[in-house]
Amino acid sequence: MSVELDPVIHAQARLRVTVALAALADGDSISFPRLQELLGMTAGNLSTHLRKLEDAEYVEITKTHQRRTPVTYVSLTRRGRLAFEDYTASLKALLNGSGRDSQRD
């Protein structure tokens, strides 16, 4: 049996983003600057990875205003949460050896 890891999530930066968003309660969101601060990423780098996650429909980006200031919120979609759960199950299977094609000598 071969275990596949989702390439969208598997990239280190996107995995970090997904883990941070998965820690939020279902339906909650985090502001872009707070997520950027938590992950220690540049705005451009975070935007690039969020775009890939958004294209896969794993995250939802909501742009709004607080008073006159634009604010961007990021949340994990139901699809993204399921993809992350599948990813972690696949990773556990690999770590437990059930993803190996052959036995160790």
Distance CA 46, CA 23 (A): 18
**Domain count along the chain:** 1
Distance CA 88, CA 99 (A): 13
Kindly report the CATH number assigned to the domain that includes residue 76.
Answer: 1.10.10.10
Structural domain boundaries, residue 71:
7-88
> Is 18 within the bounds of a domain?
yes
Query: 12-33, pLDDT tens digit by residue?
Result: 999 999 999 999 999 999 999 9
Give residues with Cβ within 8 angstroms of 83, minimum separation 6: 6, 8, 9, 56, 58
Distance CA 87, CA 81 (A): 10
DSSP helix/strand/coil, 10:
helix
Looking at residue 99, what is its pLDDT?
Answer: 53
> Is 2 within the bounds of a domain?
no
pLDDT reading at 3 higher than 90 = no
